[in-house]
Each structure stands twice: as C-alpha cells, then as structure tokens.
Chain A
Amino acid sequence: MWCGIDIGASTAKAVVFDERIVSKVVISSGFDTKRTAEEVFEKGLKKAGITEEDIEYIVATGYGRIMVSMASKTITEITCHAKGAYYLDNTVRTVIDIGGQDSKGIALDNGKVQDFVMNDKCAAGTGRFLEVMARALEIELRELGELSMKSQEKVSISSTCTVFAESEVISYKNQGKKKEDIIAGLHEAIASRIYAMVNQIPVKEKIMVTGGVALNQGVVQALKTKIGKEITIPEDPQIVGALGAALLARETF
C-alpha cells in the first residue's frame, strides 16, 4: 500500500491507497509540524487497519512537506492536486484549490500540469480570509456557507485585502447589516479575487474546486456565478492533495 501526507497551513491530511482509497484522515495542523505529520500518519494507518510495514512508499506534500520525516520523497501540492483531481475525474481540465494559506489554479492537459498560478504573499482569496471574517462575525468557520445562503440583500465588500475587508465588515456590523448579507458579500469578494487569479491560465471545463474552502457552498456558488461555468466538487475536497501524493508514491515505487 501507499501513503500520501499533505501538511497544509490549517489542516493535515493522509490518504492510504491500494487500488482504491483505503483510508483518509483530516486533522488540524498543530504548531509542531513533525508531530502533526506523525499523528496524521498514525491515524491514517489505524483507520486502514494496517501498520507502517504495510506501506511501501510515502510521498509528502504541502507547506510542511519537508518536515515529514517518514516520507521518502516530497512533491509540491500543485503536482499532487493535479494528480488527485485527475484520478477522481479524468475529464477535469482546471483545478482550483483554495487552502488555508494559499489558493491556486492549475491547468491540466491529459492529467499533466500544463500551467499554474498561485496567490502572492497575501491572504486575500484564501481560507485565512474567511477565518478572520468568521472571527469578526463571531461565528464558526463551518457556519459561513449555510448562513450565506439565507442572504436576501448582499452587501458589497470593495477591498480584497484581508485587513481592509475586515474593517469594512466591522463598519457594516455597526450599520446593523445582517450577518448573512455580510457573509454573502465576503464570498463574492473572495470569488472575485480567485477568478482574477485563475483567469491568468486558460480556465477550461471541467472545473474542479478542491481544498477546505470547497466545503463552503457559499464560496462555490459565488465562484460559479463569477466564472459562468459549472464547477464540480469532489466528495472530500480536502484530501485531493494527499490522494495525489499517494498516487505518485505508487508510481514511484
């Protein structure tokens, strides 16, 4: 069997693979990246009901990839997301991955990375943007998507900068605007930012959105409207990178 470990800024993921996904695990990334990697790996093994000896090869990916001591190889999350997405659906031509610290657009040609684009040293268009806003609105991150669907009168957030957008949120709060309307405005802002970025690569159908933010139906809806094309979300969007890493481990060994 093979294992892929994806250590992201917010969450760590592990996938054990053997001709199919045997187990998949998502945990929060702790401060100690090495410990996080061990923990997610152990949980992945436990869930699969196997031991370390059953694993033939491990590939690590994500920002913490170099800290994964049990991995034999590191591969960037761009290559891994492309691999994972193509495995889940081989008609996918564009992957939009929105993670905790960064977001990226990947153009696929027959499953290979043809071109890619990533956000710069800026939290706009990432999960962090939503984390900051959820805190300002005093709600849980996972509540954002559902709440935004209730919006009747979406507000307009003009800043894409996280810091400035937060002050806009505070000013809307002080004007007595409804939470759902503010959230809908935020989702539109993040969608605009991502759209502007991924447009630098040719956005071709089918489009798949991966990463933790894909769990937020409000962002996905806003992105669909902005791009004007259908978007597919895999069953478990957070594990696509780890899945790709596991698949690449199988190819390597």
Chain B
Amino acid sequence: MKRLHTYQDLKKLVGSHYMQAKTAQFFNQKVAWVSSGAPVELLRPFDCITIYPENHTSICGAAKVGPEYCEAAEAEGYSRDLCSYFRCDRGSTLLGTSPIGGLPEPDFLFGCNNICGTILKWYEIVQRHFDVPFLFVDTPFVHSTVYEHAVEYVVEQLKGFIPVLESLTEREFDEEKFVKGLYLSKECVELWKEILLFGAHKPSPLTCFDAFTQLAAIVSLRGTEEVVTHYKTLKTELEERVQKGVGAVDDEKIRLLWDNIPVWYAMRSLSELFEKHNACLVADTYTNAWASANIDTGNPMESLARNYLEIYLNISMDLMLEKIQNLIKVFDVDGMVMHSNRSCKPYSLGQYDLARNIKEETGIPVLIIEADMVDSRSYAEAQVKTRIEAFLESLGG
C-alpha cells in the first residue's frame, strides 16, 4: 500500500496532542477523558484537553500489546467477554504503562452511551480509580426517527453540565466561543466527509486502512484549527493522486466495503493481503460514522444533541441497512467484508441479518470474518486469511 505523506503529519499532530495533555496543569487546563461519541464541543469553550481512552487502546492494539493489558484487567477479575478497549484501558492504568507511556490522569470524565452501554460501567470504574467527577450523557436509542422529547432530554442534560464545567475549569461559559467551536467541528466533519468520498474515485486514492489511521484526528481533536489544517493537507494529497490517476492499490480490480472497527493488530497483514489480490477497501461504516454534522445556528445546543443522537451505533438495524446501502451505491463496491468483533456487541449484533439483507437487496456478496479489535487472542490468522482469499478468488481476484 502506498503510504500517504500526510501520515507523518498525523503522527506529529496526535503526538503533540498527548504531549499537551501531559503538561496541561502548567497551563491551568483540565484533562477530560472522553468517550468517542461524547459531544465534546461542549468542552471546547472551557479549554479542556480531551483524551480518548478508545483512541489510546487502538494505539495499544496496533502496537500489538493488547493481550498483555487485557490479561492485567482479567487478573483483576474482569471477564474476557468484556470489551477489549475497556480491558486494555484498565490494564494500562493498572500497569501504569503503554506504548505512549500511559495516559495523563483525568481531572474529570465525560462519557455518552450513544456508542454502547459499556461506556457507563467502564467510566464508573475509571471514576472510582481516580476519584474524579463523571459527567454522563444519556442518549435514547433511535429506532426509527429522532423524537423531539429525546432531543429535549439530551439538551437539558447538556445545559445542566454548564455550571458544573464552569466550576471544574474555573472558566465562564462563552456562548460565542461555543458556537465558533461548533462551526469548526462542522468544518472538520465536512472535510473528513470529502476525504472519505475520494474513495468513490476509480481507482481509489485511499483505502479504509488510511482512513482508520487518519480517523485519530477527527475523533480526538474534532473542533480544533489543527485538524482543519491537517485535513486540508490530506485533501490536497488525495486530489493530486486523483489527478495523476494514482490508486492506493496497484491495478485496482476489486472494490470493497468494510464494516466494524478495524482489527488493529492485523492492519498491515490484512492490507497486504487485500493488495496482493488487487482489492481495495474503498470505504467503511466505521470512519463514515464521523462524517455527518448539521448545525442550526438558531439553536446550537439542539443541533449538538441531535447530531450525537443519530450516530451509527445508536440507530436501529433498519437505519443501519439504509446507510450501508447508500455506501454501496456511492462507492460502487463489488463486495462487503464484515468484521464480527468479539468485543463490540452493539456493532456486531445483527451482522448476519444485515449480511443476508444486503445479499438479497443489492446482490453483492458479503464475507463475515471473526476477530477482535485489540485482543489478538481471539484471532486465528490462517483461518481469516483463507476466508478472505477464497472470497477474493470468488470475486475474480
């Protein structure tokens, strides 16, 4: 796979972000541990440094140290059936290490259950460990439409956090700064969306493995100037590739859609396997989950609530199917690969039904592989590779 030059910039961006967090106290800034689906824009006007344990555990996964940390959590009594992001985070805290030297301690926690119910229990454990406040946002599940009462319910919670945040950070809430942040966030999201849409080109200048890596910026630093600048550079690089007709994979013959969180420790071996068969994973449901944000200037808090209610893991299977079908159409894929992720139940539940529906309604073949995002003990490489190769052979690769 041809590596994007922007990869180095991303490493610097994420590196300096963690560095900032480690020195936050010298600048009178508070460190918040935040879940990936939490409405982080609310924290921006308070100059908080946001740290994403989920991003950190994916780094641990990619560095192949997941099992070590998971085992430390298991030794404390946590079941192996629990989310490996949680186990890895817990293990890293207990051992006080990680590939980046561990996370800076939190001043408070900010979590939202729009991605899963595990977040609530996970953050309660973190809360007990560090003895810090935990601000929790409850987002009702969206079965068919987003009800007004659900929006009001979330808005009320968000508004309720303002005085708490004011006292925690010793800063006053600045509405103007908040709205400005929302617009920056929207700009980030829209740039991200444009970047992902480059995958619709033939050949595609990027693969979902690039997107998985570049995702770190939109997840951890959404709503900041740095991300806007970074994504603009990335966009230019992709534009150049398209102009020159350069594909991320040589001689692209098969275009695929990926579903679920990456298998972080197998990113390289999997990307090489697909490339060997001239197959490009041109899009995925995971990184596209950060590609929508609408803002109503008249009612910013409501827009924020609405955006975070509608995220991919907080919607019904019917709505997920609609989104997948749209991706199949936009990216013109020949097949779909679903990662049945032992850790992530909300993401993996229903995949067999979704696969059947997709096969029936769109006629494209779907492959389901079994793995785990961080815990490589749940991954049988030879079996997964055989499945993928057989799937690609049946697609003519």
Contacts and interface: CB of A to CB of B under 8 A. Distances in A.
A114 B390 CA distance: 11
B8 interface: no
A116 B368 CA distance: 10
A72 B249 CA distance: 23
- Residue of B386, B387, B390, B391 with most chain A CB atoms under a 10 A cut-off: B390
B383 interface: yes
B380 A121 contact: yes
B386 A112 contact: no
Interface stretch (A76-84, A129-137, A160-168, A228-236): A76-84
A77 B386 CA distance: 8
A102 B390 contact: no
A48 interface: no
A143 interface: no
A63 interface: yes
A140 interface: no
B81 interface: no
Nearest to B395: A113
Interface in A72-102: 75-79, 102
B299 interface: no
A115 B387 CA distance: 11
A118 interface: yes
Contacts of A113: 390, 393-394
A116 B382 contact: no
A75 B386 CA distance: 9
A115 B365 contact: yes
A118 B386 contact: yes
A86 B386 CA distance: 21
B370 A120 contact: yes
B389 interface: yes
B383 A120 contact: yes
Interface residues of B, number: 13
B314 to A, nearest CB: 29
Given A102-B383, A115-B365, A76 B370 contact: no
Contacts of B386: 63, 76-78, 118
B67 to A, nearest CB: 15
B383 A76 contact: no
A66 to B, nearest CB: 9
A121 B369 CA distance: 11
Interface in B75-108: none
Interface in B360-397: 365, 370, 380, 382-383, 386-387, 389-391, 393-394
A228 to B, nearest CB: 22
Interface string A173-203: 0000000000000000000000000001000
B380 A76 contact: no
Contacts of A79: 390, 393-394
Contact of A63 (B352, B382, B390): B382
A174 B380 CA distance: 36
Nearest to A115: B365
A121 B365 contact: no
Contacts of A114: 394
A221 to B, nearest CB: 29
Interface in B259-279: none
Contact of A78 (B370, B382, B390): B390
Contacts of A116: 390-391, 394
Contact of B389 (A76, A102, A120, A121): A76
- Residue of A76, A115, A200 with most chain B CB atoms under a 10 A cut-off: A76
Contacts of B390: 76-79, 113, 116
A25 B383 CA distance: 25
A121 B393 contact: no
A114 B395 CA distance: 9
A118 B387 contact: yes
Contacts of B382: 63
A102 B389 CA distance: 16
Interface in A98-146: 102, 112-116, 118, 120-121
Given A76-B389, A115-B365, A121 B394 contact: no
Contacts of B365: 115
B372 to A, nearest CB: 11
Interface of B: 352, 365, 370, 380, 382-383, 386-387, 389-391, 393-394
26 contacts: A63-B382, A63-B386, A76-B386, A76-B389, A77-B390, A78-B390, A78-B393, A78-B394, A79-B390, A79-B393, A79-B394, A102-B383, A113-B390, A113-B393, A113-B394, A114-B394, A115-B365, A116-B390, A116-B391, A116-B394, A118-B387, A120-B370, A121-B370, A121-B380, A121-B383, A200-B352
3 pairs of A and B residues whose beta carbons are closest in the complex = A78-B390, A113-B394, A76-B390
Given A118-B387, A121-B383, 7 more contacts: A76-B386, A76-B389, A76-B390, A78-B393, A79-B390, A118-B386, A120-B370
